[in-house]
Structures are given as structure tokens and as C-alpha cells.
Amino acid sequence: MTIRAVVWDVDDTLFDYTTADREGMRAHLAVEGLLAGYDSPEQALLQWREITDRQWARYAAGECSFQDQRRDRVRVFLDTELTDAECDAWFQRYIGHYEAAWSLFPDVLPALEALSASHRHAVLSNSSLTVQEHKLRTLGLLDRFEVVLCAAELGVSKPEAGAFLAVCEALRLPPHEVAYVGDHPEIDGRGAAEAGLLSVWIDRGTGSAQAAGEAVCRRISTLAELPALVRADTRFGAPSTFG
């Protein structure tokens, strides 16, 4: 079966979120005078990362709103009772440093160019539309995607099948004609496969834990491998021989 569209995750797939978050928070904590309370900057950054992961999991499970998970990250990290406005102001100061560190992975533009004439492109993210459209616009990618969908507006997040089916519906394509590319073998990989899409896991070597989703993904280590994969896929595990 021919793959007609590629749907992309954003953070740590197209955009180097991990580096931007780390460098942005390092700069933010230095300016805020908060590094003195830790043995090292790395200890502070690890604590921020762990808090972020826990609060994001609550958001993904529908336990809080996108904005509330941001505020709770600040409150837990600072271990201080803050108003919503105080949390928002602190987070916005961090955002300034974070955005200064934004960059694409070097394999992104070549892969998009290689597939620009042959495949349609869309985005499905567990973030919010406001955040991701701003990010894609700033990075010069927004016009490359005909559809951008995010969990905050959809009301359903990956790995739920409904999120993947929503983007297929927006493209007016059946799932078996759509590939999904993401960096997380469970949230992206297993979710896409169970929804009927061609599931492609971009393994950027960030140390993701072994997960059941790996068994149902096509694993690639660089997006340079993607064009050949989606052009050859027949959904039966063998390359197409029909020109």
C-alpha cells in the first residue's frame, strides 16, 4: 500500500527540544540566582527534567490543563506557593532563554525536501497549537505542513488512537496510507501502529527506556533513512516491486 502522507511529531523529532530546554533552563536559573542552591547546574537541570516529565504525564493523562502543568512545574521546582500570575511570569522568563536556544536537527530539512514533491505533510503533537505553531513558524517550517493538530485543542493525546485518527481524518486519508514519525517508541511508535499507521521511530540515541512499542515500529537512526522507507513500504513488510 502506498504511503501518501507523513505526519510528524515536533519535539525531539524535528526540533531539538532536549538541548533547548537544558540550555535555556541553565541560563534562566543563572539569571534568577537559583543555581547556588544546588551542588551543580546538572543537579538542578535533572530535577527540572524529572518534574517536567511527571507534570507532563499528568497533562497527557487528562488530569490537568496545558497551562496548569506549566504552573505546577514551577511550583514544585521552587517548592513555593505562587499565584497563577507569578508562575506564568517565571515561566515566561524561562521561555525567553529557551527560545534563544531553539534549533532544528540537521537531518530535518534534507528529509523534508526529499519528500516535498511526493508526500503530503502534517504535524500531530501532544502540546498546544499556540506553542507549536509559534515554534514551527520561528524555525521556518510552518508552511511545509498542511495540517497542524495538537492535543490541547483535540482533547485527546498520543498514544490514544483518536489522536492519530484525527490527523488522518484531517488529511482525508485512511490510516494505512499515512506514516507517523516520532521519537518516543511508546507514545509515538506504539500509538501510531495500533491506530493503523506506518509507525516510524526516530531513535536519536537519547536513552529512551526499552519499550514494547519498539516491536511495532520501523526504527531509523537518522531522517536520511526516511524517504526510502516510506517510498518502499507496502504494509506487508517488503519493498514494493511495482514501479
The full set of domain ranges for the chain reads: 5-16+104-232, 17-100
In CATH, which of 3.40.1010.10, 1.10.940.10, 1.10.150.240, 1.10.645.10 is domain 17-100?
1.10.150.240
Q: What are the φ and ψ backbone dihedral angles of 102, each rounded to 5 degrees? A: -65, 140
- The reported pTM is 0.87
| Class of 5-16+104-232 in CATH | alpha beta
pLDDT band at 243 (very low <50, low <70, confident <90, very high): very low
| pLDDT value, residue 239 | 39
pLDDT tens digits for range 12-64: 999 999 999 999 999 999 999 999 989 999 999 999 999 999 999 999 888 99
Query: Fold identical between 5-16+104-232 and 17-100?
Result: no
Name the residue among 192, 191, 190 with its Cα closest to residue 210.
190
Mean of pLDDT values over 87-94: 97
- Residues found in the chain: 243
| pLDDT value, residue 241 | 32
Using the predicted structure, report yes or no on whether residue 240 has a pLDDT greater than 80: no
Mean of pLDDT values over 108-134: 97
Mean of pLDDT values over 138-158: 97
Using the predicted structure, report yes or no on whether residue 210 has a pLDDT greater than 80: no
Measure the CA–CA gap between 98 and 28, rounded to whole angstroms.
Answer: 8
Could you tell me what percent of the chain has a pLDDT over 70?
Answer: 91
